[in-house]
Amino acid sequence: MAVDMNKAKETIKKNGRIVGEFKEFISRGNVVDMAVGIIVGSAFTAIVNSLVNDILMPVIGYFISGIKFSDMSYALPVINGGKAVLINYGMFLQKIVDFLLIALVVFFMVKLLNRLRRKKEEKPAEPPKPVLTKEAELLTEIRDLLKKG
């Protein structure tokens, strides 16, 4: 089987350009920032899930007669000897609490960032220097000369 060298060179050249474009794409700041955000977000989600499942829901369950939310379900009636179908609404309630906590934290983070941005923007600018008329300039010069003399 003969290899067409020209075709092979073109393929290598084309792949080299693609690799170069990919390197350029990856080296952009916003892509890297987005990747970091996704990784931190997934770690944060695990923390919130643990907070909800291991701390909040057991406390809520304790106050409502020891009910464990993850076990809450509704069984649909069995038809023709089939398997029972469960609707796990307790898990759904836990996911709602997860979402609300994450949304609350994101809300406060955005609010904090906006406040910091506003403080940066609100730095007082230097007051503009007064524009003197020719008469005012002349009077200022006369005053300065009288002070010296």
Token pair of 119, please? Answer: 């403080």
First to last CA, the chain: 105
Domain membership of residue 15 (yes or no) is yes
**pLDDT (mean) for 58-78:** 81
Distance CA(72)–CA(92), nearest Å, equals 10
Domain membership of residue 115 (yes or no) is yes
Domain membership of residue 144 (yes or no) is no
**CATH number (domain holding residue 16):** 1.10.1200.120
Write out pLDDT tens, residues 24-37: 777 776 777 788 88
Using alpha carbons, select from 76, 58, 75 the residue that is nearest to residue 67. Answer: 58
Q: Annotate 44-57 with b (16+ C-beta within 10 A) or e (fewer).
A: eeeebbeebbeebb
* Sign of the CA dihedral with 34 first, then 38, 40, and 41 last: positive
Number of domains in the chain: 1
Would you place residue 59 in the very low, low, confident or very high pLDDT band (cuts 50, 70, 90)?
confident
Domain membership of residue 39 (yes or no) is yes
Domain membership of residue 121 (yes or no) is yes
- What integer pLDDT is reported at residue 2 of this predicted model? 57
Domain membership of residue 141 (yes or no) is no
Q: Which domain holds residue 11?
A: 5-76+84-125
Domain membership of residue 147 (yes or no) is no
Spell out the residues 6+ positions from residue 137 whose beta carbon is closer than 8 angstroms to its own.
Answer: none
